[in-house]
Structure formats: structure tokens, C-alpha cells
Structure 1
Amino acid sequence: MATAPQNPSLPLFYKDLIPLNSQQHATWKTRSTDKATWLVGVNSVPLTVEEFPQAQRHFPIIFTGGDNPIPLALMGMNEGVNVFVEDDGKVTNPIYMPAYARRYPFMLARLRPEAEELSLCVDPSSDLVGEDVEGEALFDGEQPSETTKNMLKFCENFEIAGSKTANFMAELKKHDLLMDGELNIDINGSQPFNYRGFQMVDETKLREVRGDVLRQWNQNGLLALIYAHLFSLELVRDIFGRQVQQGKGPQPVPAANA
């Protein structure tokens, strides 16, 4: 149900990663864009918990399968389908753009597996950065420019939000609240479409959580995040409807012909 990275050894969107430095990239620039070409055909994007309140207004929020699940914003019901982004990268509706997508082509990464510090890296294959790009300079002499400093701060905040997200997921697993998800969509009596391969909060188990735990979750904001996830699932039919309207993915089959 989720889109896999083109290169499993690199994060989603990234085709390559190199650390920025003033010696090799002294003349590099970066430009802004109104088209998110890296989102074309990507049906799910990682989210941090801080984004749940905004994201749940636009996308279903689900969790990946496996032992180390992460939250995802579902932007299409089938792999290779994004109902909010046209083939040229134009975003068709005013939507909340996940921070994971907004930071591209930059990100913080460890230069070596054993390294403790994270370095600001960039995808050199992106047309948003480079020596011949018309835009803002990445360096002012040997020092990072204000543009680079702002991007570094954005990426640092993203990493902090990622740690909070990991704590949230650990709490869900601690109380065994995650279950294998299944979504069944039956539109106008047509053959139902079934979607699996993700996780969601088990509402039955949520109702059985002890009162003192719920009180603590209410005080620290975790309970609101859980319900943002659950309420967002109502948008699944909307995403599917957009997909059908755009002629992407499965088309409903009349019940008589199913």
C-alpha cells in the first residue's frame, strides 16, 4: 500500500546524498519551486506526530507494518498514485505539505554509521541545487549562507520531531494498541476494494486502557494524536473518490458484473 524508495539504501525521494562543504560547493545555489516533482507517483509520505493536527484534515494517517512502524500521510490508495500531484509536479489543491517532503533535497545524515553527529547533506541529482542553478547561494565565503542556516535549522527541528514520533510509537507498542489494518471501500454497490499492508490503532483495546494512563495521555497530548489518526481514516473514501475521478488506479466495477 505504501510506495517503496527507488533505492532501498536511501530514504524516499533521494537518488544520491553528499555532505555539503564550502570547499566543494562554494558556488552552489538552491532555488525554490512551485512544483513537487519528487512527489509524483508517491502515494505515502512519512509524518511526524507534530504534524498530525494539520495533516489529518487532508490525508488519512496510517502506520507502516513491521516491528518499527512509522506514521504515513496517505496521498493515494494505490502504489504509484498521488491524487494531489499532477504528472509535472504541480500540487492540485491547497494541502498541508509534510515536512519530510518540504526538506527535499536536503536532509541531516550520518557520514559514517558509527558517527554521532549529523551533517547537512543534499541530493546532487536534484535540479533544485547546483552550480548552474539560479537562486540563493549556499555559502558566503567559507561560512554557510542564511539560506543554508535556515535549512539546517529546519532539518534539525525535523530530527527533534522524529524523536518525539519514535516515543509516540513506542507508547502505542507498549500498550499493544496497533493492529493490522484493513480498509474496505464499496462505492455505489460496486465490487468492494480491500486495502491491507498497514497498521492502525485498535479502538477496542484503546477503550480498555486504564484510566490513569488515559489521563496521562490526555495531559501530554498523546490522546489527541491518537484520535487525529482515527478521525483521519474517514478521508479514505475521499482519497479513493479522487483517484477514480482522475482515472488513476482501480475503477469501480458494477455489482452485476463483479
Structure 2
Amino acid sequence: MSEAQAAPQVTGQMFLYERPELLTKEEHGNLSLKPVDRPFGFAAKARAVPVTMSEVPSAMKDYPLIFMSKEQPQLLAVTGLYDDVNLYVDEEGKWEEHRYIPGYLRRYPFGLASETGSDRMAIVVDRAYDGLGADGEVPLFNNGELAEQTQAAVDFCKNYERDRHMTEQFAKVLSDLELIQPQTGQYTPQGATEQVSFAQYFGIDETRLNELSDEKATELRRNGTLPLAYALLMSMGNWRTLLQRRAKRFNLSEADIFKPAVN
């Protein structure tokens, strides 16, 4: 007789998740979800949020899209500068209307994490989420099985994870071609004569991209990499918008736009 399989364990940390726990009917069978007053309060201090390649066409309209580093080319949407303030989350914890909300945030409080000592992924829930408790409106489980809304959230997490793996492959292609390089964000304040450097990040090197051989460019165009690479370059225009958001949030003049904020 084979031994009973040990329950999977999840260790480590997850960005923006305070207490990620493996979702089980034993631990969470009596819990339910309810609306919270500050739906995106958990991300109010995030200066960048992970995004996937399928999100680029939408996210490029609202955020500068950069990479964490050359060694870890995780794709990120920049949401804040200098201060630990997400400029897209207002004081009421709400995301600004008509701005793209990254899937990493929309899946919260659920997520996927690696099981300890295994390549498998496990569904987790942030036990610290204010909307999770015994008095909610939407149960996590019904008769010991995932409730319909919980199952929908789980399916979303699984789809997101598949997209994340594809994004890793996309980033590896760019990295292998040495297209991901250190970049400097520069801005000329109104009335100034010299540019001010305000951000150091990793992004697409436009010169290297344009110098690709016709054969390589054709290959990247056919597999969808080239259009996305140019989309990342186009997103750089949002740095100026981000600076203007910061100035408006902290009531800073054009001349003071780089100064520490005073809340």
C-alpha cells in the first residue's frame, strides 16, 4: 500500500501578500469574501507592479514598462517615483478610473506559489486580506468544493501563470540578443535649460533593436516579439505623465518636481 501523499507546503514571500496560505477546505472552508473600503489599499505603496506580455498592448498606454534587471528581466509597470506611493491609487484605496489594472493585482487575494521541494504550483490566499473572514457574502467553498467565484479566481490565476511563463521566454529572447540595457530617464523642467536625470532602469535599447539583421528582425516579427519590443519603447512616453502625476499628487511646482514630497 502506498503512503498517503503529504500535504503540500508553501514557503517564501510573495510581493504585496502579507500572509499567503495554501488554500484548503480544512483551513478556509468556513471563510468568505466581502467588499472592502480600500480595494487597492494593499498596493498603495507599490512603485512598480509585474505585468505579462499579453498585457503590454493595454499597459503601454498608461505606464512606463521596464525590466527589473538584465539578470532578472521581469517585466514591470512603473506606478510611482521616489516615494513609496502608487500614483494610480487614490487616498481612498481606489485605482484611478479608465487606467489599466495589472492582472497581478486583479487576482488578489488569490495567487499561485511554488510548493516546497516541487515544481508544482499551489493556489494561495492572503489571510491578511481585510475582505476575508467568517462574515462575508461570497463563500470560498460550498459543500467542501470550491465555490463558483473561487473557481473562477483559481482559473484566472492559472491563466496568469501560463502567461507569466511565456513572458519569461519573451524576456529571455530579448536578453539573449542583448536588447535589455541600462537606461536613464531624463526630463527638462519648464524654464530650465538642462535635462535632469530622474530614473535609472533597464529597458529596450532602441539602437540595438534597429540594428538587428533583416533575418533576425523578420524572425522576431513572425513570433510576435518585435511588435512588443517597440510597444515597450513607446511606453517610455509615460515617464513624463508619471512626473506630472507626482507633481499633482504632492502639489509640487514644475521647478520642485524632483524634490522630496511633503504629505
TM normalised by structure 1 equals: 0.88
1:54 is matched with which residue: 33, 54, 58? 58
Q: Which amino acid aligns with 1:128?
A: G
Q: Which amino acid aligns with 1:11?
A: M
- Within 5 A, what are the aligned runs for 1:4-43? 9-33=12-36, 35-43=39-47
Shift of 1:249: 7.9
Q: Does 1:162 align with 2:192?
A: no
What is the alpha-carbon distance in structure 1 between the residues aligned to residue 180 and residue 115 of structure 2?
34
Q: Against the structure 1 CA distance between its residues 87 and 145, is the aligned structure 2 distance closer, same or farther, given a 3 Å change threshold?
A: same
1:117 is matched with which residue: 99, 117, 120? 120
What is the alpha-carbon distance in structure 1 between the residues aligned to residue 252 and residue 228 of structure 2?
30
Q: Does 1:195 align with 2:198?
A: yes
Greater mean deviation of Cα atoms: 191-200 or 67-76: 191-200
What is the alpha-carbon distance in structure 1 between the residues aligned to residue 165 and residue 253 of structure 2?
37
Shift of 1:189: 2.5
Aligned to 2:241: 238
Shift of 1:248: 6.7
2:74 is matched with which residue: 70, 75, 80? 70
Q: Which amino acid aligns with 1:252?
A: A
The answer to whether the 8 Å contact 1:31/1:128 transfers is yes
What is the alpha-carbon distance in structure 2 between the residues aligned to residue 151 and residue 118 of structure 1?
15
Q: Does 1:92 align with 2:84?
A: no
- Within 5 A, what are the aligned runs for 1:204-223? 204-223=207-226
The answer to whether the 8 Å contact 2:186/2:199 transfers is no
Tell me the SS of whatever aligns to 1:195: strand
Deviations along 1:192-221, one digit per CA (max 9) or x if unpaired, are 542334201111111111111111211121
Q: Which amino acid aligns with 1:92?
A: E
The answer to whether the 8 Å contact 1:22/1:141 transfers is no
Shift of 1:66: 4.5
What is the alpha-carbon distance in structure 2 between the residues aligned to residue 179 and residue 143 of structure 1?
48
Tell me the SS of whatever aligns to 1:241: helix
The answer to whether the 8 Å contact 2:49/2:104 transfers is yes
What is the alpha-carbon distance in structure 1 between the residues aligned to residue 179 and residue 253 of structure 2?
31
Q: Against the structure 1 CA distance between its residues 215 and 89, is the aligned structure 2 distance closer, same or farther, given a 3 Å change threshold?
A: same
Deviations along 1:145-200, one digit per CA (max 9) or x if unpaired, are 11111111000001100111000110011111111010011120347542334201
The answer to whether the 8 Å contact 1:184/1:192 transfers is yes
What is the alpha-carbon distance in structure 2 between the residues aligned to residue 235 and residue 196 of structure 1?
13
Shift of 1:92: 2.9
Greater mean deviation of Cα atoms: 94-103 or 74-83: 74-83
Deviations along 1:209-254, one digit per CA (max 9) or x if unpaired, are 1111111211121111101100010111011011111217896349
Q: Against the structure 1 CA distance between its residues 252 and 28, is the aligned structure 2 distance closer, same or farther, given a 3 Å change threshold?
A: same
TM normalised by structure 2 equals: 0.86
Deviations along 1:60-107, one digit per CA (max 9) or x if unpaired, are 111112511211111122241222111231223321100011111111
Tell me the SS of whatever aligns to 2:76: strand
The answer to whether the 8 Å contact 1:81/1:249 transfers is no
Gaps of 5+ in 1: 1-8
What is the alpha-carbon distance in structure 1 between the residues aligned to residue 183 and residue 253 of structure 2?
20
Q: Against the structure 1 CA distance between its residues 245 and 106, is the aligned structure 2 distance closer, same or farther, given a 3 Å change threshold?
A: same
Q: Equivalent pairs: percent with the same residue?
A: 26
Q: Against the structure 1 CA distance between its residues 228 and 146, is the aligned structure 2 distance closer, same or farther, given a 3 Å change threshold?
A: same
Gaps of 5+ in 2: 1-11, 258-263
Backbone CA RMSD of aligned residues: 2.0
Tell me the SS of whatever aligns to 2:49: strand
Aligned length: 244
Shift of 1:32: 4.3
What is the alpha-carbon distance in structure 2 between the residues aligned to residue 249 and residue 70 of structure 1?
32
